């Protein structure tokens, strides 16, 4: 059975339309990102993680969001330029989106509802959702857990195995 996540529409950072289904069969870490946050330096670690595991079927989807402290004020082109020139980011970026509230992106509605308990609101920038190859949510990591955290790396290895 195909995961309901795969039918969710995405607008990518360059304006192209896609679906989360473009990642079907791969493990994906979905991260709401911001360029003026105390956690922004995680871009470097995310890119390193991406480089380390991409050939084994791992993807990262960065979802810029300006809902937490106004820390992503730029337009999509500015965000792409910042990520590329400052951190060498090569993983895909979605268009700037809302991850909480009435206008929450459908991907985040599905991700936050995937927990065993009642849906849990995204609390801050750089919260990470790890999706297995089959489209089910394996793990969720708060902002303070960096891309080099042993527990996160173990979960990525589990997701791609």
Give tens-digit pLDDT for 87-128: 999 999 999 999 999 999 999 999 998 766 656 889 999 999
What pLDDT is stored for residue 132 in this prediction? Answer: 95
Q: Give the C-alpha separation, 155 to 148, whole Å.
A: 12
Q: Kindly list the catalytic residues.
A: 37
- Rounded to an integer, the average pLDDT of 66-83 is 95
Q: Give the C-alpha separation, 78 to 136, whole Å.
A: 32
Q: Mean pLDDT of all residues in the chain?
A: 94
- Cα–Cα separations (whole angstroms), residue 154 to 13, 92, 96, 101: 29, 22, 29, 31
- Residue among 103, 76, 74, 94 at smallest CA distance from 31: 94
CATH superfamily of 4-160: Glutaredoxin (3.40.30.10)
CB atoms within 10 A of CB 155: 21
3-state secondary structure of 130: strand
Question: Phi/psi class of residue 80: alpha, beta or left (left: φ > 0; alpha: ψ in -120 to 50)?
Answer: alpha
* 51-61 confidence digits (pLDDT tens): 999 999 999 99
């Amino acid at each position: 059975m195909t995961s309901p996540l795969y039918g969710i529409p995405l607008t990518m950072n360059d304006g192209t339309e896609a679906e989360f289904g473009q990642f079907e069969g791969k493990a994906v870490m979905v991260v709401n990102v911001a360029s003026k946050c105390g956690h922004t330096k995680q871009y470097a670690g995310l890119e390193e993680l991406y480089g380390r595991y991409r050939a084994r079927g791992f993807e990262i989807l960065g979802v810029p969001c300006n809902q937490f402290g106004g820390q992503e004020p730029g337009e999509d082109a500015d965000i792409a330029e910042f990520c590329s020139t400052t951190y060498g980011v090569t993983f895909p970026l979605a268009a700037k989106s809302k991850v909480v509230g009435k206008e929450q992106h459908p991907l985040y509605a599905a991700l936050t509802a995937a927990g065993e308990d009642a849906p849990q609101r995204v609390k801050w920038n750089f919260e990470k959702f790890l999706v297995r190859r089959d489209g089910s949510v394996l793990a969720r990591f708060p902002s303070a857990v960096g891309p080099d955290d042993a527990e996160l790396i173990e979960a990525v290895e589990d997701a791609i195995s």
